Amino acid sequence: MPASRPLRDIAVVAFAQTDHLRTTDELSEVEMLMPVLHQVLDRTGLKTSDIGFTCSGSSDYLAGRAFSFTMALDGVGAWPPISESHVEMDGAWALYEAWTKLLTGEADTALVYAYGKSSPGSVRDVLTRQLDPYYVAPLWPDSVALAALQAQALIDAGDTDEPALAAVATRSRVSAADNSHAQLRGSVPRGDYAVRPLRTGDCPPIGDGAAAVILAAGERARDLCERPAWIRGIDHRIEAHGLGVRDLTDSPSSRLAAERAGAFERPVDTAELHASFSSQEVVLRKALRLDDSVDVNPSGGPLAANPIMAAGLIRIGEAAARIHRGDSDRALAHATSGPCLQQNLVAVLEGDPR
């Protein structure tokens, strides 16, 4: 099947994120988000009123209340009224919605943001509420236990072993030493077992954070950014929910999304993967055909900072920022949702030839 080609060139032209922290008790979600919105707008010189479409991603379950995103909108400054929407998903999917809006030609610029505060509750318990509400959720299997199931399946299949997983974690956190926004930086010990075979070092930190991106179409993108990160393709796919009907050692939805996004047409030099557990990087490297020539998670990835609902958008933002800086010419960004990589999004970003 040929990869879908967008009818209009659309690029990420700016990216901003918070410093990701274990707790932000002193900040409301709006207060956490505001500086990021200001930074991303400042980077382009745009004002809220210049933006053609706004879209956000967040979760009521993290916030602990219904309609939690309505207050975040106050931080955007939606007056006069704006064209705006929200997905109850990671911000990467908000970016996808904004991308489709720009494709229709109804807007030339879009502001995308996402945020999540995991600190007020027990994120392991909260995420169990994503599961089949009748048969699975009542058993409260938590996110680390489910990831451990996947990790064990990989080890049993001979795809990895515990030292290899530790190497993934170490490499990520060493890379994060250069990322001032990361929550965990520099070397971190492997730690004790969280749930066998995963040690604490294989698991992401729990933390709070926000991110924002600005998209622009065509010449508008060149006006706003010296080296725009053009979205050459973007696609996302979902798999069955039940873990029993999936091969946990593979990610067919990632592969299909990558194919549709054109990721396999030419090699990428960078990949930002939303692999929250070291074992998930093993699955994704295989599905996305990433060999050792690719710089995987130079930001440190989710093992260094994993603000739920924003972590996927941050992957796109980090990949785009590398293109903006000239550190990458063609990058793959990946986001995921659901237990054990159920739903996956892949974007391919490119800078203009040099």
Cβ–Cβ under 8 Å, residues 95 and 313: yes
Task: Tell me how far, at minimum, the Cβ of 239 lies from another protein, in Å.
Answer: 6
Cβ–Cβ under 8 Å, residues 59 and 308: yes
Task: Tell me how far, at minimum, the Cβ of 328 lies from another protein, in Å.
Answer: 25
Task: Tell me how far, at minimum, the Cβ of 86 lies from another protein, in Å.
Answer: 5
According to DSSP, residue 352 is labeled: P
Nearer to another protein, 228 or 339 (CB): 339
Nearer to another protein, 186 or 252 (CB): 252
Tokens of 135: 């048969």
Nearer to another protein, 87 or 229 (CB): 87
Amino acid, single-letter form, for residue 9: D
Task: Tell me how far, at minimum, the Cβ of 134 lies from another protein, in Å.
Answer: 6
Nearer to another protein, 84 or 295 (CB): 84
Nearer to another protein, 86 or 285 (CB): 86
Task: Tell me how far, at minimum, the Cβ of 136 lies from another protein, in Å.
Answer: 8
Amino acid, single-letter form, for residue 98: A
Nearer to another protein, 65 or 196 (CB): 65
Task: Tell me how far, at minimum, the Cβ of 298 lies from another protein, in Å.
Answer: 28
What are the φ and ψ backbone dihedral angles of 330, each rounded to 5 degrees?
Answer: -145, 115
The residues binding another protein (CB under 8 A) are 4, 7-8, 54, 59-61, 64-67, 69-71, 73-74, 77-89, 93, 96-97, 100-106, 126-127, 129-134, 137, 235-242, 252-253, 256, 337-339, 342-343
Nearest Cα residue to 236 out of 336, 317, 311, 127:
336
Nearer to another protein, 76 or 321 (CB): 76
Q: Supply the DSSP string of 152-194, one letter for each residue.
A: HHHHHTTS--HHHHHHHHHHHHHHGGG-TT-SS-S-----SEE
Task: Tell me how far, at minimum, the Cβ of 168 lies from another protein, in Å.
Answer: 25
Cβ–Cβ under 8 Å, residues 32 and 208: yes
Cβ–Cβ under 8 Å, residues 190 and 169: yes
CA 92 vs CA 23, 152, 187, 298: distances in Å: 23, 28, 28, 19
